[in-house]
């Protein structure tokens, strides 16, 4: 048994940086990661190092340093432990997925570093089997060490398309093409601000070199408008290019990606401790999606906030805050050349799926909105079953909010206006909830068991 000051949720760069920093300051820290290993969205690698997915050297060096830092502390790392929620009494609920039991923890501070979300703008056919997200494809490669089988089209917008295409190529499975919706990527005027972040340019240049060698086309201004199943189980994509010309390609898989976003929906909000609740601090991409470098700095920021609140120590250097600010400008520069805007969803055909879990369509929501008497997000949720499915609204809520905003020409409501911030923040097995509840009892597991 071990008493705990701080619980950190999420073993990505933000969570690991936060845990290491707090443990170094003498706080008793436990880090819970739902998966089998630390690393998060960016530093995940297959169990078998022989099959490692190539990543930029600077990136792996950063992670190496960070995990070494954590290993030197007495922070406890629990893998296969998923955060479920913070209940009304201030208890932090964690599901121990291997033992099928529930930890009911009382801690002084809770740092949530559960990562951001990958966006995929709905379009007809995006929900079909064979359509995946680019990030999901990357995770698959990182877990198995293999590229996807069959012909794959990558489409959407953002640097991740390039990174994943290069990784596929390195694994001997290059995509047919990358369709980049933005036309401005190579516009010198727009791209100029990025010169301030040579790291991004060097990374992109490395990816592009590999793609050019393999002859993978990067088509700017092109996008996938519609995806249809073919009789022989493949996918027909309808593509519109920069000049408005329409073409069709039949492929085995389509991977879509429209940027990354923060994800605090369903999480308890950041707040100071009360007589019941611990301090709650959000860190990394879940707070603001700014990429891997910012995530480390933001994790340190969170750590310093917690240290200040728990020990009364004065806030330390503002260096990490400056890094976050710089990275925010870098993301803004990237957003300026890529196209992360939300298209006019009201123009989508009726049958376009909006919510996969509950099978809700654009047409059904459009009908709900076509009234002078504008429903509130909560009514849209209840009557439209938006955010009611097992993904807890991770995918549909942003688009339902966008449609509401487009219909009423008003600001887009926050996800929490639809789904609140109730626990469980993700579905949890009744078996686990009923297993022996382990209150405040965490048996010590050597920190690097999972590495």
Partner 1 sequence: MPHEISPVSDRANSVVIVGAGIVGMSAAYFLSQAGWRVTVLDQGAPASGATGAADGAVSVASKKAGPLMTLAVAGAQFYQDLCDAGVLDGEFVRRLTYVVATEPNELPVLDRHATQLREAGVTLRALSKAERDQALGSLAPTTRAAIEVQGDGHAIGYKVVERFRRIGGFAVKRNVAVQGLWRQAGKVAGVETEQGIERADAVLVAAGRGSAAFLDVADVIRPRKGQLIITERGEGIVPRFPGPLMSCRYLISKGSQPGGDAPAGRSFGLVIDPLQTGQFLIGGTREDSADGSQTDIEAVRRLLQEAVELVPALARLRVLRVFAGIRAATRDGLPIVGRLSAHENVWIATGFEGDGICLGPLMGRVSQQLISGAHVNVDISALNPARFRAEAAA
Rank residues 315 and 427 by Cβ distance to partner 1 and give the closer one: 427
Least Å distance, CB 269 to partner 1, is 12
Instruction: Output the DSSP codes for 330-356.
Output: HHHHHHHHS--PPP-GGGS-TT-EEET
Q: How far apart are CA 169 and CA 438, in angstroms?
A: 47
Choose from partner 1, ligand FAD, none: what does 433 bind? Cβ within 5-8 Å by kind.
partner 1
Counting contacts by CB under 8 A, is residue 252 touching partner 1?
no
Largest interatomic CA distance in the chain: 66
Q: Which does 31 bind (CB under 5 to 8 A by kind): ligand FAD, partner 1, none?
A: none
Which residue, 48 or 274, is less far from partner 1 as judged by CB? 274
- Contact flag: residue 274 with partner 1 (CB under 8 A): no
Contacted entry of partner 1, ligand FAD, none for residue 390, CB cut-off 5 to 8 Å set by kind: partner 1
CB of 358 to partner 1, least distance (A): 8
Least distance CB 434 / partner 1 (angstroms): 6
Interacting residue with partner 1 among 1, 57, 89, 189 (CB under 8 A): 89
Q: How far is the CB of 175 from ligand FAD (least distance, A)?
A: 15
Q: Which stretch binds ligand FAD (CB under 6 A): 39-47, 120-128, 216-224, 369-377?
A: 39-47
- Work out which of 4, 5, 15, 178 binds ligand FAD, going by CB under 6 A: 15
Tell me, letter by letter, the H, E, C secondary structure of 4-26.
CCEEEECCCHHHHHHHHHHHHCC
14 contacts ligand FAD (rule: CB under 6 A):
yes
Instruction: Please report whether residue 33 would count as binding ligand FAD according to CB under 6 A.
Output: yes
Q: Which tokens hold the place of 438?
A: 């382990």
Beta strands in 47-196 (DSSP E): 76-79, 81-86, 92-96, 101-105, 109-112, 117-118, 131-133, 152-156, 177-180
Min dist CB 137 to partner 1, Å, is 26
**CA pseudo-torsion sign 21, 22, 24, 25:** positive
Bridge partner residues of 83 (DSSP): 94
Distance in angstroms (rounded) separating the CA atoms of residues 356 and 268:
25
Taking residue 38's Cβ as centre, other Cβ atoms within 10 Å add up to 26
Question: Is residue 291 near ligand FAD by the rule CB under 6 A?
Answer: yes
3-state SS of 194-215 is HHHCHHHHHHHHHHHHHHHHHC
Instruction: Name the one range near partner 1 by CB under 8 A: 283-291, 324-332, 344-352, 374-382.
Output: 374-382
383 in contact with partner 1 (CB under 8 A): yes
What is the rounded CA–CA span in Å between residue 44 and residue 38?
Answer: 7
Task: Verify binding: residue 178, ligand FAD, rule CB under 6 A.
Answer: no
Task: Indicate the DSSP class of residue 50.
Answer: G
Say whether residue 41 binds ligand FAD (CB under 6 A): yes
CA atoms within 13 A on the CB side of 370: 7
Interface residues for ligand FAD in 310-339 (CB under 6 A)? none
When asked if residue 342 is in the footprint of partner 1 (CB under 8 A), the reply is: no
Is it true that the peptide bond before 424 is cis, omega within 30 degrees of 0? Answer: yes
Question: For residues 68 and 438, what is the distance between their CA atoms, to the nearest angstrom?
Answer: 30
- 385-424: contacts with partner 1 (CB under 8 A): 388, 390, 392, 420, 422-424
Which chain residues interact with partner 1 by CB under 8 A?
A: 87-89, 91, 93, 102, 104, 373, 375-376, 378-379, 382-383, 388, 390, 392, 420, 422-424, 427-431, 433-434, 437
Residues that bind ligand FAD (CB under 6 A): 9-15, 32-35, 40-42, 82-83, 113-116, 118, 135, 138, 160, 163, 260, 284-286, 291-292, 295, 426
């Amino acid at each position: 048994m071990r008493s705990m000051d701080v619980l950190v949720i999420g073993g990505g760069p933000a969570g690991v940086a936060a845990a290491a920093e707090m443990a170094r300051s003498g706080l008793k820290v436990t880090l819970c990661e739902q998966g089998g290993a630390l690393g998060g969205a960016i530093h995940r690698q297959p169990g078998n190092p022989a099959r490692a997915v190539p990543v930029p050297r600077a990136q792996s060096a950063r992670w190496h340093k960070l995990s070494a830092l954590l290993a030197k502390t007495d922070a406890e790392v629990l893998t296969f432990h998923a955060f479920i929620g913070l209940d009304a009494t201030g208890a932090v609920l964690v599901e121990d997925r291997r033992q099928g039991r529930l930890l009911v923890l009382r801690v002084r501070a809770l740092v949530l570093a559960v990562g951001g979300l990958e966006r995929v703008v709905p379009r007809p056919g995006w929900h079909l089997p064979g359509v995946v997200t680019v990030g999901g494809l990357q995770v698959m490669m990182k877990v198995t060490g293999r590229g996807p089988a069959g012909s794959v089209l990558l489409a959407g917008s953002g640097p991740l398309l390039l990174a994943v295409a290069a990784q596929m190529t390195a694994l001997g499975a290059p995509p047919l093409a990358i369709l980049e919706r933005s036309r401005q990527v190579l516009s010198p005027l727009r791209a100029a601000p990025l010169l301030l972040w040579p790291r991004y340019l060097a990374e992109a240049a490395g990816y592009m070199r590999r793609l050019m060698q393999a002859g993978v086309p990067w088509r700017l201004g092109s996008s996938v408008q519609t995806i249809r199943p073919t009789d022989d189980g493949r996918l027909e994509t309808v593509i519109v290019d920069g000049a408005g010309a329409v073409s069709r390609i039949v492929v085995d898989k389509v991977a879509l990606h429209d940027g990354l976003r923060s994800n605090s929906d369903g999480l308890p909000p950041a707040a100071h401790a009360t007589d019941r609740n611990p301090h709650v601090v959000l860190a990394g991409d879940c707070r603001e999606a700014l990429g891997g470098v910012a995530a480390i700095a933001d994790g340190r920021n969170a750590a310093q906030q917690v240290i200040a609140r728990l020990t009364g120590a004065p806030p330390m250097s503002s260096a990490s805050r400056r890094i976050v600010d710089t990275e925010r400008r870098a993301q803004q520069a990237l957003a300026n050349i890529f196209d992360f805007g939300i298209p006019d969803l009201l123009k989508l055909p009726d049958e376009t799926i909006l919510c996969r879990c509950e099978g809700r369509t654009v047409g059904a929501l459009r009908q709900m909105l076509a009234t002078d008497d504008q429903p509130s997000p909560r009514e849209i949720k209840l009557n439209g079953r938006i955010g009611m499915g097992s993904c807890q609204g991770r995918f549909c809520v942003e688009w339902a909010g966008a449609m509401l905003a487009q219909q009423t020409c008003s600001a887009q409501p926050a996800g929490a206006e639809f789904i609140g911030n109730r626990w469980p923040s993700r579905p949890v097995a009744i078996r686990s909830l009923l297993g022996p509840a382990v209150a405040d009892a965490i048996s010590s597991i050597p920190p690097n068991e999972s590495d």
